[in-house]
């Protein structure tokens, strides 16, 4: 019984460490509503791969899902602007609803992260 009691907190602790490491590396993407400060979704690279297959079912040349598709899949709605943080060189991408319909793709790379292209 003592072993079970010790395993449960250890599992939660390891999950928290893994999530924070994934957020720093870009392997987990956090979708957040800045106006309310609430977390909308956490998406791992496996989720982005699934979204790419859903969006482009027969396209073997697809690099990843589009930014607009990922936003829709997260359940975020009623937004006016989107800010993407954590780009190369600490840059940020800021776009409104009108220019998000462009070809912005979260391209999956061999490092297990995604690049906004």
Mean pLDDT on 24-30: 68
Mean pLDDT on 10-18: 77
| Whole-number pLDDT of residue 2 | 77
Residues 109, 63 contacting (CB under 8 angstroms): no
Q: What pLDDT band is residue 27 in, cutting at 50, 70 and 90?
A: low
Q: Which residues of 42-77 are buried (b: 16+ CB within 10 A; e: fewer)?
A: ebebebbeebbeebbeeeeebbbbbbbbbbebbeee
> Does residue 109 surpass a pLDDT of 60?
yes
Cα separation, 104 vs 65, whole angstroms: 9
Q: Where are the beta strands (DSSP E) in 20-97?
A: 28-33, 38-44, 81-84, 93-96
Q: Of 7-11, 16-20, 77-81, 104-108, where does mean pLDDT reach its minimum? A: 16-20
- Give CA torsion, residues 60, 105, 65, 42, to 10 deg: 140
Cα separation, 55 vs 94, whole angstroms: 23
């Amino acid at each position: 019984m003592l072993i079970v009691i010790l395993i449960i907190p250890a599992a939660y602790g390891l999950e928290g460490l893994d999530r924070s490491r994934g957020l720093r590396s870009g392997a987990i993407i956090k979708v957040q509503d800045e106006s309310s400060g609430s977390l909308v979704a956490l998406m791992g690279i496996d989720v982005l791969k699934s979204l790419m297959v859903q969006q482009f079912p027969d396209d073997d040349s697809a690099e990843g899902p589009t930014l607009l598709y990922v936003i829709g899949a997260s359940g975020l709605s009623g937004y006016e602007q989107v800010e993407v943080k954590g780009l190369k060189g600490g840059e940020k991408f800021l776009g409104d609803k009108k220019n998000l319909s462009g070809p912005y793709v979260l391209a999956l790379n061999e490092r297990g992260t995604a690049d906004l292209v």
